[in-house]
Amino acid sequence: MTITKQDEDATRALGALEDDRSSVRLKAALAVGTTPDPRFVDKLIERSAIEPEFFVRDMLTWALTRHPVSLTLPALVREVGSERAQARSQALHTLSKIGSREAWPAITRKLLSDADDEVARSAWRVAVVLVPEGEESALATVLATQLGRGERETQLSLSRALVALGEATVPALHAATTVPDPVVRAHALATQRLLSDPDTGFEFAIEEAKRVVALGGSGREGG
């Protein structure tokens, strides 16, 4: 069998994705995305699961978006079931960039409540992108079960996802302001504030909500 220059270039690029130097891996991912080849897809996904550098992972995602959805989508959907947290997170992130609603069935409640914060955050972002028309309220209800979770960055990600769903979020947030957990109530109140006034900063909204909760309020008194 004749080995073409294209074959040699592909072999070289795939090998460079495993180079010890992040700059080399970054250039390799750029090269792979610039000249898409079906042979690259599995390797790109495999590398995404273990790549330690953010900028390289981002380039790997871009390279995957340059390949046909018919090839990348099935592989990425399989990857969201991986036992490796980074594999799940990166696959979800890439699905959000591809934006194909065919991936929606893969965005399960299990992923939306994944024990790993990065996986959950990626799942929230892609869910908001892919949710079919008419299913926003159901998604908001599931997302609301995660209110109060994690550190400030995780809470901000969830609030952004809920706000992106718009008015469909209102009933779920309203219900969350009445639960016993003060952390959940504060997060729900802060998200309500962001929904009604997008220009409000999250830090201000969450601190204000904490004060309301500390005083025994739900933020709806006098309404």
Q: Is the pLDDT of residue 8 over 70?
A: no
Question: What local confidence, expressed as pLDDT, does residue 213 receive?
Answer: 83
- The model's pTM is 0.87
Mean pLDDT value of segment 97-105: 96
pLDDT in tens, 151-173: 999 999 999 999 999 999 999 99
**Mean pLDDT to the nearest integer, 63-71:** 96
pLDDT tens-place string over residues 118-152 = 999 999 999 999 999 999 999 999 999 999 999 99
Using one digit for the tens of pLDDT, what is the confidence trace for 27-62? 999 999 998 999 899 999 999 999 999 999 999 999
Closest CA to 116 of 86, 155, 144, 142: 86
Assign 207 a pLDDT band (cuts: 50, 70, 90): confident
Residue with more model confidence, 8 or 177: 177
List, for residues 74-94, the tens digit of each pLDDT value: 999 999 999 999 999 999 999
